[in-house]
Amino acid sequence: MARSAITDQTSPTWTNWVGNQSFTPARAAAPRDEEEVATLVRRAAERGVGVRVAGAGHSFTPVVQTDGLLLDLAALSGVVHTDPVGKRATALAATRIRDFYEPLWQAGLALRNQGDIDTQQIAGAVATGTHGSGTRFTSLSGVVRGARIVTATGDVRDVDGSDLDLLHATQVSVGMLGVVTRLELEVTDAYRLREQVGLRSWDDVMEHWDELVDQHRHFGFFWLPTEESGALYNLDGHGERLADQCYVKVYDEVGPDVADDDTVGRRVDRCYRIFPMVYDPNFHELEYFVALERAPQALQAVRELMLRSLPDAVYPLEVRTVGADRAFLSPQHDTATVVISVSGKPGTDYWAYLRSVDALLADFDARVHWGKLHFMTPERLHALYPRAADFIALRRELDPEGMFLNDHLRPLFA
Ligand SMILES: Cc1cc2nc3c(=O)[nH]c(=O)nc-3n(C[C@H](O)[C@H](O)[C@H](O)COP(=O)(O)OP(=O)(O)OC[C@H]3O[C@@H](n4cnc5c(N)ncnc54)[C@H](O)[C@@H]3O)c2cc1C
């Protein structure tokens, strides 16, 4: 007889994609459906064992870590419903971003926005507030309209707009409210994009900042402190000088009269073919968010700090914007933000550099990306996230024993 997948097994070491987080959980299991998830959670609760879920492992922080039971939901994958009239799509938790593309396109739909890569599982991406660029759009978390969660008792709870506090807590929950088994997203009509990619000087970008932010569907750039910086993120300057240049990307929607174009830097294609980039696991990233109105001063200060920190600061500074949402733990809670990302080189001691970026951006009341390196403290959490206490109260109500917390999250959210 085949061994049941819901038997939790002793497990090998788990390592994230970039290789800076690894741990060995006591047990691991790969449930085949929601019922098996509920059974495993119930049993873990009876034994007093913690539970965490591994998504695609693309977070840089110890958000997956557990010394209890680690769940792999890979079997719970696929878009299960699309609604072209109501502009909704429902998918199982482990559906990769890229696995939304065809089913949505076939229904005349598309994700409203997405980030730089598309290998994350949707529940993992949503858990940390994964975002793309553009102030007219929220993160993926901001478009979550419903969720199904297996809570600490092993009960299945449907979350939707009838309980807005629970919905807003669920939208960015870093796995702390329970095991998410499915998500309903607000989506949009299928659209095509034209990219315009090119090098511009820092001063030029800063001078045209408002126009770049306001007049394009998506705008972001990488500032390259040195000639070598572009290659670290696979950014091709086509022979032009890169040092101290901005590699600018703007994407705008085009109508059916505009033909597809595969010219690099000027492509026109379905949205989901324009968004994703290719990264190598050669960087450890910190990402902070500053209220949009303070963007130019914050960016100028980070650039100056990076120039002073060379060669530790050799990785590009990535800059994007994201629209406001209501999620309790979202960096965009009630405010549009500029997104500021910097990276350290694996194998080097980059901590002093990252700490200096943290100290500088603390003066700009920066919030953090939960999936990227950060130095959040309980004091800053409560000062910067006005609904943090409400999140913690709901978390305690749903999971009084803290079975979905881990060593990384407990100091902030117990
Ligand atoms: C190369 C690269 C590019 C990136 N680009 C972007 C970007 O453009 N924009 C951006 O915002 N971020 C970006 N990120 C960060 C990334 O999107 C987030 O860290 C995201 O959370 C990773 O998703 P994942 O599926 O790998 O989840 P994991 O990292 O595996 O897990 C993230 C969290 O979700 C929890 N979780 C996963 N599934 C469930 C579930 N079913 N139920 C409950 N909890 C669950 C995990 O326990 C963990 O706490 C990037 C990361 C990398 C490595």
From the alpha carbon of 177, which atom of ligand 1 is closest? 43
Distance, CA of 148 to CA of 297 (rounded, Å): 41
Residue 291 contacts residue 365 (beta carbons within 8 Å): yes
Choosing from 118, 128, 343 the residue with most ligand 1 atoms within 8 A of its CB, the one to mutate for a pocket test is 128
**Atom of ligand 1 minimally distant from the CA of 58:** 26
What does the pLDDT read at residue 120? 98
> One-letter amino acid identity for 75?
A
Kindly report, residue by residue over 53-86, the tens digit of the pLDDT. 999 999 999 999 999 999 999 999 999 999 999 9
Q: Could you tell me the distance, in angstroms and rounded to a whole number, from the CA of residue 124 to the centre of ligand 1?
A: 4
**Protein residue whose Cα sits closest to atom 27 of ligand 1:** 124
Pocket test for ligand 1, best of 34, 71, 120 (most atoms within 8 A of CB): 120
Residue 11 confidence (pLDDT): 73
Q: Residue 12 has what pLDDT?
A: 87
The C-alpha torsion from 332 through 247 and 277 to 172, rounded to 10°, is -10
The answer to whether 166 touches 355, Cβ cutoff 8 Å, is no
Q: Which atom of ligand 1 is nearest to the CA of 63?
A: 49
Which residue out of 33, 73, 117, 222 has the highest number of ligand 1 atoms within 8 Å of its CB and is therefore the one to mutate? Answer: 117
Cα-to-centroid distance, 299 and ligand 1 (Å):
25
CA 37 to centroid of ligand 1, rounded, Å: 20
Better-predicted residue by pLDDT, 2 or 411: 411
CATH architecture of 192-379: 3-Layer(aba) Sandwich (3.40)
**Ligand 1 centroid – CA 239 distance (Å):** 34
Query: What integer is the mean pLDDT of 133-156?
Result: 98
User: What's the whole-number mean pLDDT along residues 84-99?
Assistant: 98
> What is the atom index within ligand 1 of the atom nearest the CA of 179?
42
Of 335, 289, 277, 341, which is closest to residue 315 (Cα–Cα)? 341
Atom of ligand 1 minimally distant from the CA of 122: 25
The ranges assigned to domains in the chain are 192-379
Identify the pLDDT of residue 7: 67
Cα dist from 45 to 10, 68, 176, 399, whole Å: 18, 11, 14, 10
Q: Is residue 64 within 8 Å of residue 57, measured between CB atoms?
A: yes
Q: Tell me how far the alpha carbon of residue 155 is from its chain's centroid.
A: 27
Q: pLDDT per residue over 314-363, tens digit each?
A: 999 999 999 999 999 999 999 999 999 999 999 999 999 999 999 999 99
What was the pLDDT predicted at 2?
35
Closest CA to ligand 1's atom 13? 130
Which tokens belong to 1?
Answer: 């007889």
pLDDT, one tens digit per residue, over 6-56 is 667 767 899 999 999 999 999 999 999 999 999 999 999 999 999 999 999
105-142 pLDDT per residue, tens = 999 999 999 999 999 999 999 999 999 999 999 999 99
Distance 197 CA to ligand 1 centre (A): 26
Instruction: Look up residue 329 and give its two tokens.
Output: 């733990």
Q: Using CA positions, which residue lies closest to atom 10 of ligand 1?
A: 130
Give the chain's mean pLDDT.
Answer: 96
Contact (Cβ atoms closer than 8 angstroms) between residue 213 and residue 135: yes
Q: Residues 6 or more apart from 238 whose CB is under 8 A from it?
A: none
Q: What mean pLDDT comes out for the span 85-113?
A: 98
For residue 211, how far is its CA from the centre of ligand 1 (angstroms)? Answer: 31
Strands laid side by side in the 218-224 sheet: 268-270, 192-201, 245-254, 218-224, 317-322, 337-344, 284-291, 367-368
Residues with CB under 6 A from ligand 1: 17-18, 52-59, 63-64, 73, 93, 115-117, 120-121, 123-125, 127-128, 130-131, 174-175, 179-180, 279, 369, 371
Per-residue pLDDT reduced to its tens digit, 358-389: 999 999 999 999 999 999 999 999 999 999 99
Percent of the chain surpassing pLDDT 90: 97
pLDDT in tens, 181-225: 999 999 999 999 999 999 999 999 999 999 999 999 999 999 999
CA 153 from chain centre, in angstroms, equals: 28
**Does 3 score more than 60 pLDDT?**
no
pLDDT at 4: 43
Distance between CA 338 and CA 292 in Å, rounded?
5
* 3-state DSSP percent of the chain in helix, strand and coil, to 5: 25, 25, 45
Residues of the chain above pLDDT 70, percent: 98
Give the chain's length.
Answer: 414
Report residue 182 as tokens.
Answer: 């499915």
Rounded Cα–Cα distance for residues 25 and 10 (Å): 8
